[in-house]
Amino acid sequence: MLSSALLSPLGGCGVPYGTGSRVTLSEAPPSAQSTPSEGIMRALTCMRDSHVLNRIRFGIAVHSDGTGKSSFGYEGATGSFLPQGTAAIWASEAVIRAGGLSMNYYELNTERALRQFGGSSLDTALATQQQTRVPNFIISTAFTALDFIGGPSMDVRAAGIGPYYNVRGASLEVSAEMYRPGDRMTMAISSLNRQVFYRDAGVGVARFFGKGKGELVTGTIGFTDQQRLQEATRDVIALAVADVLASMPIVPDDCRQMVENLKAVQKVKATEDRPQERSSASAHGNRRDAPPAAPAPQNPPAQGAVTGVVTDPGKSRRNQN
């Protein structure tokens, strides 16, 4: 009896728990490649095909969760509503899909172990490689807000029978910042939000059927549709990274306009630092990485990335002439 009780939870995995008995589950769906949505992929591919970012190195910083929201009160809860540091991989993927060179600055434990156990010679060699290939830019991303929002709710019964309908949701905000190492000049900031909804609809009954006192029949037939909150974060991170990349003057106007169109479709409110342009002509002419009177912070990174080093503003202007 005791062995049967211990083995019964394993029966759902197809493990024999008796004399030849086996519990069989339905076949799991096959694995599929996961990518950002089609529109974001087109914008990133446009940048990649232009080859303007091919020699620019982007260091990807640790992704942070600044929402302060945690969850422990339901089955499967992991303590956090949102992905944590691993979300930086999505930012790195967006840079690679745009044709840039992505440098991992968010997973440092492995390299620390190599330096610790590899001896002073390996430590020196790794440090030299890092010093000779410094990122031209750093991209950091963060979840800045997570709010749970309400929606319409209806439950109407006539003679004990009627429909019900409920909608709830969450609003997630993500920010991405691109800055230049050394002087730490902020080049671009993007702040986007994404809403995820949960819907519940059906028909309920609670009435007596039959003659006389009849029989009380109660029950509901319903359907729930919940969008995936954690997977939805992938799109908004990828779009935020595409937005800061599109702020670079060397990015073609048509690629930049794709990003602007995606933001307009999602009705995203632009940040105060980077007001959203609505036409392709103004999108290129009024970039806001630096004040209009001092465009120098934009030009040096573009020149530095092409030559493989971060050049000073004066030298960049001379190279352009």
What residue segments make up the domains of the chain, in order of their start?
A: 35-289
Which residue's entry shows tokens 């990649």?
Answer: 48
Q: What per-residue confidence (pLDDT) applies to 290? A: 39
Q: What per-residue confidence (pLDDT) applies to 135? A: 93
Q: What per-residue confidence (pLDDT) applies to 82? A: 75
Q: What per-residue confidence (pLDDT) applies to 306? A: 33
Q: How does pLDDT run along the chain (321 residues), one tens digit per residue?
A: 444 544 444 444 555 555 566 777 778 888 888 888 899 999 999 999 999 999 999 999 988 877 777 766 666 556 667 766 678 899 999 999 999 999 998 888 888 888 888 888 888 888 888 778 899 999 999 888 888 888 889 999 898 899 999 998 888 899 999 999 989 999 999 999 888 888 999 999 998 888 877 888 899 999 988 877 767 788 899 999 999 999 999 999 999 999 999 988 765 433 333 333 333 334 444 444 433 433 333 433 433 333 333 334 344 333 444
With the CA atoms of 237, 241, 242 and 246 taken in that order, what torsion angle do they form, in degrees rounded to the nearest 10? 150
Under 8 Å between Cβ of 317 and 302: no
d(CA 305, CA 57): 7
217 residue type, one letter? V
Q: What per-residue confidence (pLDDT) applies to 305? A: 36
Query: Which among 274, 199, 176, 194 has a CA at the least distance from the CA of 232?
Result: 194
d(CA 3, CA 174): 50
Q: What per-residue confidence (pLDDT) applies to 43? A: 95
For the domain made up of 35-289, give the CATH fold: Rossmann fold (3.40.50)
Q: What per-residue confidence (pLDDT) applies to 176? A: 95
Q: What per-residue confidence (pLDDT) applies to 16? A: 52
Distances (CA, A) of 306 to 50, 92, 100, 181: 14, 20, 12, 17
CB environment 242-254: b (16+ within 10 A), e (fewer)? bbbbbbbebbeee
CB count in 10 Å sphere of residue 218: 9
Bin 120: left if φ > 0, else alpha if -120 < ψ < 50, else beta. Answer: alpha
pTM: 0.67
d(CA 123, CA 117): 9
Query: Which among 197, 129, 200 has a CA at the least distance from the CA of 166?
Result: 200
